[in-house]
Amino acid sequence: MGPPGGGRNTITGRFSRHCNIISIDSFSDETMQKIFTSIVDWHFSKGFEASFQRVGRLLVQGTMQIYKKACEQFLPTPQKSHYLFNLRDFSRVVRGILLVPQTNLKEERKLYRLWIHEIYRVFYDRLIDDNDRQTFYSMVKEVMNELLKQDINKLLEHLIPADAPPPRQLRDEHVRF
């Protein structure tokens, strides 16, 4: 409950005595990591190769980094009031990855590409400013290089148009479409 103003009113003690007020602190990074790593490990233990469990753990860490950076970088303003990110967004990324059956996922490369797709679907689709979109692309590129040890240019080179002028570099608009 915030201070009065902007459509908010104070809640009187007479009213609040009839309500149960419950408050939950946000989870620590370690707790979120443990929860989602357990879920991903369980999924990738059902018929997938052992390497997918390792990649799944890395993708949870990568999702955590993107989530934290998005919360810090993209703050809500009156024009961007929908720039609110919470645990539900984190879980949507993981849930999207878990929807793929083992029959459709035989190489790690496809799992990385799926993760990029899910990150873009959950976080990027909310962004309305080109500067924010470019910042997000840089964030994903950084996480891919530093944490996941994957070159996003090689991973998504099939998205670069054949008639692109040299040097053929992956750009934000290639990933979007």
Q: Residue 114: give its domain's CATH number.
A: 1.20.920.30
Tell me, yes or no, whether 19 lies in a domain.
no
Residues near 140 by beta carbon (within 8 Å), at least 6 away in sequence: 66, 116, 119, 120, 152
Note the pLDDT of residue 37.
96
C-alpha radius of gyration, the chain, whole number: 20
48: domain range?
33-176
Note the pLDDT of residue 159.
86
Question: How many other CB atoms are found less than 10 A from the CB of residue 26?
Answer: 9
Structurally, the chain folds into a number of domains equal to 1
pLDDT digits (tens, 9 = 90+) for 68-114: 999 999 998 888 888 999 999 999 999 999 999 988 888 999 999 99
Tell me, yes or no, whether 145 lies in a domain.
yes
Tell me, yes or no, whether 4 lies in a domain.
no
Tell me, yes or no, whether 3 lies in a domain.
no
Note the pLDDT of residue 128.
92
87: tokens are 């645990």
39: tokens are 């879920």
Tell me, yes or no, whether 28 lies in a domain.
no
Question: How many other CB atoms are found less than 10 A from the CB of residue 62?
Answer: 23
Q: What is the pTM of this model?
A: 0.84
Tell me, yes or no, whether 53 lies in a domain.
yes
Tell me, yes or no, whether 118 lies in a domain.
yes
pLDDT digits (tens, 9 = 90+) for 13-64: 888 888 887 888 888 999 999 999 999 999 999 989 989 999 999 999 999 9
**Residue 6 DSSP SS3:** coil
Quote the CA–CA distance of 112 and 92 in Å, as a whole number: 16
168: tokens are 């053929």
Q: Which of 88, 98, 99 has the alpha carbon at shortest distance from 56?
A: 98
Tell me, yes or no, whether 133 lies in a domain.
yes
- Per the DSSP assignment, residues forming a β-bridge with 8 are 5
